[in-house]
A and B are shown apart, each in its own frame.
Chain A
Amino acid sequence: MNKSKYIKGISNAKYGYFFSLPFIIAFLIFSLYPTFYTAFIGFTDCQGAGNTDWHILDEPLANFKSVLSNGTFLESIKTTVIIWVMNFIPQICLAMLLTAWFTARRIAVKGQGLFKVIFYMPNIITAATIALLFHALFSYPIGPVNDLLVSFGLRDTAYNFFVQKWGSKIIVAFIQFWTWYGYTMIILISGVLGISPDIYEAADIDGANGVQTFFRITLPNIKTILLYTLVTSLIGGLNMFDIPYLYLNGGPDKATNTTNVFIYKQAFTGKNFYNRAACASMVMFVIICVCSAFVFYIMRDKDAEELKKIKKQEKKAAKRLGARQWQ
Chain B
Amino acid sequence: MAVKSKALPIIYKIFQYIVCIFLALMCLMPFVIMVVNATRSSSQIESHAVSFIPSHYLMNNLEVLNDKAFNALTGFFNSLIISVGVTFCTIYFSTMTAFALVAYDWKLRKPFFTLIMCILMIPATVTSIGFYKFMYSIGMTNNFLSLILPAIAAPSTVFFMRQYMMSSLPMEILQSARIDGAGEFRIFNQIALPMMKPAMATQAIFAFVSSWNNLFLPMILLTDKEKYTMPMMVAQLNGDIYKTEYGAVYLGLLLTVLPLFVIYFLLSKYIIAGVALGGVKE
Q: Which residues of A approach B to under 8 Å, CB–CB?
A: 1, 3-5, 7-8, 10, 12-20, 22-27, 30-31, 33-41, 46, 49-50, 94, 98, 101, 107, 109, 115-122, 124-130, 132-137, 142-144, 146-148, 151, 178, 182-183, 186-191, 194, 209-211, 224-225, 228, 232, 235, 239, 241-242, 246, 249, 260, 263-264, 267-268, 274, 277-278, 281-282, 284-285, 288-289, 291-292, 295-296, 299, 302
Q: Are A285 and B127 in contact (CB under 8 A)?
A: yes
Q: A187-B275, A292-B118, A292-B120 known; A147 and B49 CB under 8 Å? A: yes
Q: Are A239 and B125 in contact (CB under 8 A)?
A: yes
Q: How far is the CB of B107 from chain A (nearest CB, A)?
A: 7
Which chain A positions have C-beta within 8 A of B238? Answer: 132, 135, 246, 249
Q: Is the interface of A mostly helix, strand, loop or mixed?
A: helix
Q: Is the interface of B mostly helix, strand, loop or mixed?
A: helix
Q: How far is the CB of A128 from chain B (nearest CB, A)?
A: 4
Q: Are A132 and B279 in contact (CB under 8 A)?
A: no
Query: With A and B bound together, what is the CA distance between A143 and B20 in angstroms?
Result: 26
Q: Are B184 and A137 in contact (CB under 8 A)?
A: no
- Interface members, chain B 105-149 (any A CB < 8 Å): 105-109, 112, 117-134, 136, 141, 149
Q: Are B49 and A20 in contact (CB under 8 A)?
A: no
Q: Are B246 and A34 in contact (CB under 8 A)?
A: no
Q: How far is the CB of A148 from chain B (nearest CB, A)?
A: 6
Q: How far is the CB of B85 from chain A (nearest CB, A)?
A: 13
Q: How many A-B residue pairs have CB under 8 A?
A: 318
Which chain A positions have C-beta within 8 A of B118? Answer: 292, 296
Which chain B positions have C-beta within 8 A of A267? Answer: 129, 132, 220
Which chain A positions have C-beta within 8 A of B87? Answer: none
| B224 CB within 8 Å of chain A | no
Q: Which residues of B approach A to under 8 Å, CB–CB?
A: 1-2, 9, 12-13, 16-17, 20, 23-24, 26-28, 30-31, 33-34, 37, 45-46, 48-50, 93-94, 96-97, 99-109, 112, 117-134, 136, 141, 149-153, 158, 166, 171-172, 174-175, 184, 188, 209, 212-213, 215-216, 219-220, 230-232, 234-235, 237-238, 246, 249-250, 253, 256-257, 260, 263-264, 268, 271-272, 275-282
Which chain B positions have C-beta within 8 A of A191? Answer: 279-280
**Contact residue among B166, B172, B231, B272 (Cβ-Cβ distance under 8 Å from A128):** B231
Q: Are A20 and B97 in contact (CB under 8 A)?
A: yes
Q: Are A4 and B171 in contact (CB under 8 A)?
A: yes
Which chain B positions have C-beta within 8 A of A285? Answer: 122, 126-127
Which chain B positions have C-beta within 8 A of A299? Answer: 117, 281-282
Which chain A positions have C-beta within 8 A of B219? Answer: 268
Would you list 30 pairs from A and B whose C-beta atoms are within 8 A, ordered by A residue? A10-B105, A12-B104, A19-B99, A20-B96, A26-B149, A26-B152, A26-B153, A34-B127, A39-B130, A41-B129, A101-B16, A109-B16, A116-B272, A124-B209, A125-B257, A126-B230, A127-B213, A127-B231, A128-B232, A129-B231, A129-B256, A142-B45, A146-B49, A191-B279, A239-B125, A267-B129, A274-B133, A282-B126, A285-B127, A296-B118
Max chain B C-beta neighbours (<10 A), residue from A121, A187, A277: A121
Query: With A and B bound together, what is the CA distance between A194 and B282 in angstroms?
Result: 10
Q: Which residue of A lies closest to B279 (CB)?
A: A187
**Contact residue among A26, A127, A278 (Cβ-Cβ distance under 8 Å from B93):** A26
Q: Which residue of A lies closest to B232 (CB)?
A: A128
Q: Which residue of A lies closest to B171 (CB)?
A: A4
Q: Are B50 and A19 in contact (CB under 8 A)?
A: no
Q: Given A282-B126, A285-B127, 4 more contacts at CB 8 Å?
A: A12-B184, A98-B23, A121-B268, A191-B280
Q: Are B153 and A23 in contact (CB under 8 A)?
A: yes
Query: With A and B bound together, what is the CA distance between A156 and B245 in angstroms?
Result: 25
Q: Are A16 and B106 in contact (CB under 8 A)?
A: yes
Max chain B C-beta neighbours (<10 A), residue from A19, A241, A242: A19
